[in-house]
């Protein structure tokens, strides 16, 4: 007979997890290592998938195998399902391959009916206990199998407690429970039109089916979506002899972790309840006791449990989450799995286990999920604080911040210069608000999504941000925000938690991100194994210094447009753009030059001689000018005011005309990047001169530099060829002026499909390629990111038309193919070509794995993601992602 449907615990083991699910595999493993586990068998995930195909019923083969396994279980326990003398009771428990705690269903005390309950009372000499089990069974079976909501039954229990003037379940007596059971049965009859099923085999088959079905309930689906667990795995079902924690004061049930899942500290961490069954601990009916008090109440059991917990941890070589039950002083184990934990705990436990000699470094590196590290690297709210939450928005950038409410960017900047902490609150933000974002502790917007400007910028800066918080009404005139009846004025204190999206009234206590000793150690181990270099995206010395502290080995992308956006420079940048003559433009640029030089010098110094890739100006010029609609409104207003200064009016009109000429139908594909550099050579010439002058000053002061000049948006080799020639000319000029030979390289972004396709030609002119995978994704898919994410992309992902959002997880099949092709073609021409990736993908785990496999030299990401990237790069080199329990 085939063994695919049902497998007894004593034949199961850890490596059969795909077939038995996590719970079943571990029950098997524990049974085989001689631990006290109540016997039982597992109905496999394969049986579950077959059941889905077999149109809602168990196959006769499956029923037969279940019956055979049950007979063996009866022999082993000396009891029989449905017998009144020696009734066997079982639990029917869900258990998927990846643990989904509490998401699916379980039925306890199955096998009870009007006859067997009498046998159970006789056998245990405890009538109260037997009726307590029966009512629990009716309640759970009705909920899970018959779909009758729980509260229908809880009400009846409350009614009885009222009648008898008792407050806790344990005070109800056998006659009370009998009364309750009668009423329960009536509810079942009303709701289903049938009597409560009395045949134990029918009970069993129906429970198995219901547990199979619970794989598809709403909360399980949502859980799988969040944790990227495939929908088509199905669940196993475990049928297990019951043990009873509700047999009196010498019985109980509990859950414990072998180490703290919150801090990782090596102490037993858990709770238990005396005289209770498993689900009572989590249901909150009574407040459980901390596990440490079990030491006084049941010293021997506690000793034994502690010993077993340690043994299980040694066996699995990881922190375990263990369920246990004590029946009349005897300890039973009901489940073990590797425990879910915070990032702090994950890091500490992994490093501690290495130091205890339990696991090696490689294993430790695989144990921590890089994505989870986000939690550690941002300021967060003290978990013990009481919070007054007034609204909830999209958790756009993790971390927490408190400050005074400010409604515009200028004021944010002013207030912060005065030493105040501010939270910038806007309907939405635009690039012109950048100085306000920089000056604030965090950003809250009422419009816009997870990739809105505010969100992207805030994440890039590691600043907390909540977007699209539509519940709050922002009144920019009155300078108030309102949520229901709460009204807050400018200057009042507000806090945001960008990890949860919670908007909180008042100041909350924050704790700093800390690179604990363990964390530093783990990252140093990661450095030993990874092949990829890790660089950072940084536009200013502070970010660069932060990234260096987090272990960055260079700057992979220094965007120069943010420098142009700074408040005191915007007028200069504008006069450069608006210049009527070549001289006017040159003059504006000459005034920008020393400022740019200082920018670059600051970054070179912060990076202490490590390579710095500087991208020449990329966005279209109109981004630095005021918005056309707003200008039109201003102008109209001025025209309608009788005593407007004619000169001011004239200036406005000129500005509007210029904005109109620069207006583009599709700026993303318009006059930007190297196209701008070729048409307005003086802009790049100024930037390149600033780079070389800054480098010369650093050399002069005895430092070292490694500038890498990056030309954006090249699509044809001739673009780069021409610009490279001009860069070399500037280098010569600077050399003759400063006498310093600056070591530098010239390379390009590969962010257009044509660039990837002709990478062999482009490589002839480039010392390095940096894949700009954000633009490459836009141009490969033909999506404009903001439009796609705002309109159809979520739908695409929900409908599984696309597996993931390609702007978050690199599309390896399409965009990735272009990357690999670019690397390979480029190296054909120039074997020493340096290759990297910059942009958000450079800080994303799966994309980093891909970069490793494609043979890139480095990834570059925002400073706060550098530690994550170090770890992910090590995992890529070790050839396996995080271990799942
Ligand atoms: P979950 O996956 O939601 O934890 P479980 O299948 O582990 O669901 O069961 C729910 C509760 O019932 C747990 O507390 C468990 O320990 C308890 N339980 C399960 N099977 C038995 C059994 N055979 N005897 C006693 N308690 C059990
Ligand atoms: Mg459990
Ligand atoms: Mg780009």
First to last CA, the chain: 31
Residue 235 has pLDDT above 50, yes or no: yes
Give the model's pLDDT for residue 883.
44
Pick the ligand that lies closest to the CA of residue 95. Answer: 1
CB 238 within 8 A of CB 90: no
- Report how far Cα 543 is from the mean position of its chain's Cα atoms: 23
Residues 542 and 455 in one domain: no
The C-alpha angle 875, 611, 726, rounded to 5 degrees, equals: 130
Q: From the CB of 433, is ligand 1 less than 6 Å away?
A: no
pTM over 0.75? The answer is yes
Confidence class of residue 884 from pLDDT cuts 50, 70 and 90?
very low
- CA-nearest residue for atom 11, ligand 1, is 278
Check residues 630 and 97 and name the one with the higher pLDDT: 97
257 and 231: one domain?
Answer: no
Is the Cβ atom of 539 under 6 angstroms away from ligand 1? no
Atom of ligand 1 nearest to the CA of 99: 2
pLDDT tens digits along 59-93: 999 999 999 999 999 999 999 999 999 999 999 99
Closest atom of ligand 1 to CA, residue 324: 16
pLDDT tens readout for residues 257-280: 999 887 899 999 888 999 999 877
Binding site membership of 335 for ligand 1 (Cβ less than 6 Å) = yes
What does the pLDDT look like over 589-618, one tens digit per residue?
999 999 999 999 999 999 999 999 999 999
> Do 320 and 337 contact (CB within 8 A), yes or no?
yes
The predicted pLDDT at position 284 comes to 55
**Residue 1 burial (C-beta neighbours within 10 Å; 0-12, 13-18, 19+):** exposed
Query: For residue 391, what pLDDT band results from cuts at 50, 70 and 90?
Result: very high
**How close is the Cα of 121 to the center of ligand 2, in Å?**
27
Q: Could you tell me what percent of the chain has a pLDDT over 90?
A: 72
Which residues contribute to the annotated binding site for Mg(2+)? 751, 775
CATH number of the domain residue 171 falls in: 3.30.1490.20
- Whether 184 and 269 map to the same domain: the answer is no
Give, as residue ranges, everything with CB less than 5 Å from ion ligand 3: 751, 772, 775
**Measured distance CA(252)–CA(248) in Å, rounded:** 8
Q: How far is CA 630 from the centre of its chain?
A: 38
Which residue from 780, 784, 788 is spatially nearest to 664, judged by alpha carbons? 784
Q: Is residue 587 part of a domain?
A: yes
User: Are 173 and 289 part of one and the same domain?
Assistant: no
Per-residue model confidence (pLDDT) at position 340? 83
Q: What residue numbers does the annotated binding site for substrate cover?
A: 559, 615, 751, 772-775
| pLDDT of the residue at 390 | 94
395 within 8 A of 466, measured Cβ to Cβ: yes
Return the C-alpha torsion angle 552, 557, 562, 568, nearest 10.
Answer: 70
Whether 232 and 276 map to the same domain: the answer is: no
**What's the CA-to-centroid distance between 92 and ligand 1, angstroms?**
9
Of 316, 341, 366, at which residue does a domain stop? 341
Identify the residue whose C-alpha is closest to ligand 1 atom 24: 242
* In a domain? residue 28: yes
- Residue closest to 401 by CA, chosen among 276, 482, 493: 493
| Per-residue pLDDT at 870 | 97
What is the layout of strands, in order, in the sheet containing 106-110?
A: 6-8, 40-43, 235-241, 90-96, 106-110
Q: What is the mean pLDDT of residues 503-531?
A: 91
Q: Which atom number of ligand 1 is nearest to the Cα of residue 40?
A: 23
Residue 820 makes CB contacts below 8 A (sequence gap 6+) with 854
Which of 36, 91, 140, 288 has most ligand 1 atoms within 8 Å of its beta carbon, as the pocket-test mutant? 91
Q: What angle do CA 454, 458, 464 make, to 5 degrees?
A: 110
Q: Which residues contact 620 (CB under 8 A, 6 or more apart)?
A: 662, 664, 667, 670, 671, 672, 676
Smallest CA separation from ligand 1 atom 14, residue: 278
What phi and psi values does residue 541 have, to the nearest 5 degrees? -60, -35
Q: Which helix (H) or strand (E) holds 381?
A: strand 380-381
Residue labelled with tokens 């000429």: 661
228 and 279, same domain (yes or no): no
Residue 279 CB partners (closer than 8 Å, separation 6+): 106, 108, 140
Is there a domain that residue 368 lies in?
Answer: no
- What CATH number does the domain containing 423 carry? 3.50.30.10
E strand or H helix that includes residue 535 = strand 533-537
For 795, other C-beta atoms within 10 Å of its C-beta total 10
Active site residue 838: yes
Question: Do 154 and 264 reside in the same domain of the chain?
Answer: no
Pairing of strands 858-861, 834-838: parallel
Indicate if 841 belongs to the active site. Answer: no
Q: Does the beta carbon of 106 sit less than 6 angstroms from any atom of ligand 1?
A: yes
Can you say whether the dihedral through the CA atoms of 581, 583, 586, 588 is positive or negative? negative
Of 344, 378, 435, 453, the catalytic one is 453
Same domain, 251 and 333: yes
Q: Whose CA is nearest to atom 16 of ligand 1?
A: 278
Last residue of a domain, one of 511, 541, 558: 511
35-55 pLDDT tens trace: 999 999 999 999 999 999 887
Domain at 552, CATH number: 3.20.20.60
**Closest CA to ligand 1's atom 23:** 242
Check residues 306 and 228 and name the one with the higher pLDDT.
306
Q: Does residue 657 lie in a domain region?
A: no
Measured from the CB, is residue 251 less than 6 Å from ligand 1? no
Contacts for 717 with CB less than 8 Å, ≥ 6 apart: 758, 761, 762, 764, 765
At residue 698, does pLDDT exceed 70?
A: yes
Q: Is 38 in the pocket of ligand 1 (CB under 6 A)?
A: yes
Distance 96 CA to ligand 1 centre (A): 14
- How many other CB atoms are there within 10 angstroms of residue 517's CB atom? 10
Q: Select which of 133, 838, 851, 861 is catalytic.
A: 838
Residues 78 and 186 occupy one common structural domain: yes
The pLDDT of residue 518? 95
What distance in angstroms lies between residue 797's CA and the mean position of ligand 3's atoms?
24
* 100 CA: nearest ligand 1 atom: 2
**Relative to the alpha carbon of 775, which ligand is closest?**
3
CB of 872 sitting under 6 A from ligand 1: no
Q: Is the CB of 278 under 6 A from ligand 1?
A: yes
From CA 292, how far away is CA 267, in angstroms rounded? 10
Same domain, 197 and 250: no
| CA 238 – ligand 1 centroid, Å | 10
Residues 227 and 291 in one domain: no
Annotated binding site: 559, 615, 751, 772-775
Number of domains the chain is built from: 4
287, 251: one domain: yes
Burial 121-152 (b: 16+ CB within 10 A, else e): beebebbbbbbbbbbbbbbbbbbbbbebeeeb
Regarding the beta carbon of 334 and ligand 1, being less than 6 Å apart is answered yes
What pLDDT, in 10s, does the model give residues 743-802?
Answer: 999 999 999 999 999 999 999 999 999 999 999 999 999 999 888 887 899 889 888 899
Our CA dihedral for 339, 340, 342, 347, rounded to 10 degrees, sits at 50
- What is the number of alpha carbons within 13 Å of residue 131 lying toward its C-beta? 17
Mutate to test the pocket of ligand 1, among 102, 106, 272 (most ligand atoms within 8 A of CB): 106
Determine the Cα–Cα distance for residues 289 and 304; give it in Å rounded to an integer. Answer: 18
Q: Could you tell me the distance, in angstroms and rounded to a whole number, from the CA of residue 280 to the centre of ligand 2?
A: 12
pLDDT above 50 for 488: yes
Query: Which is the closest atom of ligand 1 to the Cα of 90?
Result: 23
Q: Which atom of ligand 1 is nearest to the CA of 278?
A: 14
335 C-alpha to center of ligand 2: Å?
6
Q: Tell which atom from ligand 1 comes closest to the C-alpha of 238.
A: 6
Quick check: CB of 727 below 6 Å from ligand 1? Answer: no
- Does the residue 523 lie in any domain? no
Among the listed ranges 501-510, 546-555, 872-881, which one has the minimum average pLDDT value? 872-881
For the CA of 241, the nearest ligand: 1
CA 331 to centroid of ligand 1, rounded, Å:
14
Residue the block writes with tokens 């046998």? 119
* Domain boundary pick from 242, 258, 273: 242
d(Cα 734, Cα 690) in Å, to the nearest integer? 10
- Does residue 409 lie within any of the structural domains? yes
**Structural domain span for residue 489:** 379-511
For residue 776, the CA-to-ligand 3 centroid distance in Å is: 8
List all residues 6 or more positions away from 356 whose beta carbon is below 8 Å from its beta carbon: none
**Which position has the token pair 């077939």?**
19
pLDDT of residue 375: 72
Q: How many residues does the chain have?
A: 885
- Ligand 2 geometric centre to CA of 255 (Å): 9
CB 537 less than 6 A from any atom of ligand 1? no
Which of 37, 108, 129, 322 should be mutated for ligand 1, with most atoms under 8 A from CB? 108
Could you report the per-residue pLDDT of 393-435, keeping only the tens digit for each? 888 777 899 999 999 999 999 999 898 999 999 998 776 777 8
Identify which of 449, 423, 427, 434 has the alpha carbon closest to the alpha carbon of residue 510: 423
Ligand 1 atom nearest to 103, measured from its CA: 3
Give the CATH number, domain containing residue 269: 3.30.470.20
What is the predicted pLDDT for the residue at 610? Answer: 98
User: Is residue 34 a part of any domain in this protein?
Assistant: yes
Q: pLDDT, tens digit, for every residue of 448-471?
A: 766 566 776 776 666 889 988 989
Q: Please tell me the predicted confidence (pLDDT) of residue 282.
A: 61
> Does residue 763 fall inside a structural domain?
yes
């Amino acid at each position: 007979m085939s063994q695919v449907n049902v497998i007894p615990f004593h034949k199961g083991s850890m490596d059969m997890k795909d077939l038995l699910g996590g719970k079943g595999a571990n029950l098997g493993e524990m049974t085989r290592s001689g631990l006290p586990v109540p016997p039982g068998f597992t109905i496999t995930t394969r049986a579950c998938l077959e059941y889905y195909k077999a149109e809602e019923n168990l196959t006769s083969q499956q029923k037969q195998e279940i019956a055979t396994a049950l007979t063996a279980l009866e022999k082993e326990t000396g009891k029989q399902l449905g017998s009144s003398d020696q009734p066997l009771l079982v639990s029917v428990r869900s258990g998927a391959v990846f643990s989904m705690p509490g998401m699916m269903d379980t039925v306890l005390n199955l096998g009870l009916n009007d006859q067997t309950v009498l046998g159970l009372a006789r056998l245990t000499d405890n009538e109260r206990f037997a009726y307590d089990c029966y009512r629990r069974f009716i309640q759970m079976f009705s909920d899970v199998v018959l779909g009758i909501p729980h509260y229908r039954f809880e009400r009846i229990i409350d009614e009885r407690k009222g009648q008898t003037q008792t407050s806790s379940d344990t005070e109800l007596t056998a006659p009370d429970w009998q009364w309750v059971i009668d009423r329960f049965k009536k509810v079942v009859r009303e709701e289903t039109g049938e009597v409560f099923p009395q045949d134990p085999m029918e009970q069993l088959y129906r429970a198995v089916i219901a547990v199979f079905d619970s794989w598809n309930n709403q909360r399980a689906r949502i859980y799988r979506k969040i944790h990227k667990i495939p929908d088509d795995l199905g669940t196993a079902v475990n049928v297990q002899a019951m043990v009873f924690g509700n047999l009196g004061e010498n019985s109980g049930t509990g859950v414990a972790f072998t180490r703290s899942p919150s801090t990782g500290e090596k102490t037993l961490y858990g709770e238990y309840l005396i005289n209770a069954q498993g689900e009572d601990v989590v249901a909150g009916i009574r407040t459980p006791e901390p596990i440490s008090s079990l030491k006084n109440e049941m010293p021997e059991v506690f000793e034994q449990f502690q010993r077993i917990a340690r043994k299980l941890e040694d066996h699995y070589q990881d922190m375990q989450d263990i369920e246990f039950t004590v029946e009349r002083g005897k300890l039973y184990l009901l489940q073990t799995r590797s425990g879910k934990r915070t990032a702090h705990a994950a890091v500490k436990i992994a490093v501690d286990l290495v130091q205890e000699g339990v696991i090696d470094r490689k294993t430790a590196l695989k144990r921590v999920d890089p994505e989870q590290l986000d939690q550690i690297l941002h300021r967060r709210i003290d978990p013990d604080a009481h919070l007054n939450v007034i609204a909830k928005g999209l958790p756009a950038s993790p971390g927490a911040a408190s400050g005074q409410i400010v409604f515009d960017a200028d004021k944010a900047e002013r207030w912060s210069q005065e030493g105040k902490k501010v939270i910038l609150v806007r309907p939405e933000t635009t690039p012109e608000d950048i100085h306000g974002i920089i000056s604030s502790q965090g950003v809250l917007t009422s419009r816009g999504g997870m990739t809105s400007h505010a969100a992207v910028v805030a994440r890039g800066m590691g600043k907390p941000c909540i977007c699209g918080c539509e519940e709050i009404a922002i009144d920019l005139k009155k300078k108030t925000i309102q949520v229901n009846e709460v009204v807050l004025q400018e200057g009042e204190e507000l806090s945001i938690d960008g990890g949860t999206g919670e908007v909180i009234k008042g100041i909350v206590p924050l704790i700093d991100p800390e690179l604990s000793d363990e964390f530093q150690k783990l990252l140093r181990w990661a450095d030993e194994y990874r092949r990829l270099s890790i660089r950072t995206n940084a536009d200013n010395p502070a970010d660069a210094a932060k990234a260096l502290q987090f272990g960055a080995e260079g700057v992979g992308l220094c965007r120069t447009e943010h420098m142009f956006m700074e408040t005191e420079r915007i007028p200069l940048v504008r006069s450069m753009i608006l210049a009527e003559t070549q001289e006017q433009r040159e003059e504006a640029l000459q005034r920008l030059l020393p400022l740019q030089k200082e920018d670059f010098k600051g970054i070179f110094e912060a990076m202490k001689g490590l390579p710095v890739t500087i991208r020449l100006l990329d966005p279209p010029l109109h981004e630095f000018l005021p918005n056309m609609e707003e200008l039109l409104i201003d102008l109209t207003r001025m025209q309608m005011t009788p005593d407007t200064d004619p000169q001011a009016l004239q200036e406005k009109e000129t500005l509007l005309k210029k904005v109109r000429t620069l207006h583009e139908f599709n700026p993303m594909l318009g006059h930007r990047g190297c196209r701008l550099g070729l048409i307005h050579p003086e802009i790049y010439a100024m930037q390149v001169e600033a780079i070389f002058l800054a480098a010369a000053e650093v050399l002069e002061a005895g430092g070292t530099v490694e500038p890498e000049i990056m030309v954006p948006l090249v699509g044809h080799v001739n673009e780069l060829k021409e610009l490279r020639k001009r860069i070399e000319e500037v280098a010569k000029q600077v050399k003759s002026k400063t006498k310093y030979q600056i070591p530098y390289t010239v390379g390009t972004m590969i962010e257009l499909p044509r660039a990837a396709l002709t990478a062999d030609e482009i490589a002839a002119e480039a010392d390095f390629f940096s894949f700009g995978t954000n633009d490459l994704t836009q141009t490969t898919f033909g999506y404009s990111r903001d439009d796609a994410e705002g309109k159809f992309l979520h739908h695409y992902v929900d409908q599984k038309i696309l597996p993931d959002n390609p702007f978050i997880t690199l599309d390896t099949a399409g965009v990735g193919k272009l990357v690999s092709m670019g690397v390979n073609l480029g190296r054909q021409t120039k074997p020493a070509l340096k290759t990297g990736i910059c942009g958000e993908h450079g800080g994303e785990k799966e994309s980093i794995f891909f970069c490793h496999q494609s043979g890139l030299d480095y990834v570059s990401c925002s400073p706060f993601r550098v530690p994550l990237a170090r770890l992910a790069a090590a995992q890529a080199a070790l050839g396996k992602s995080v271990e799942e329990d």
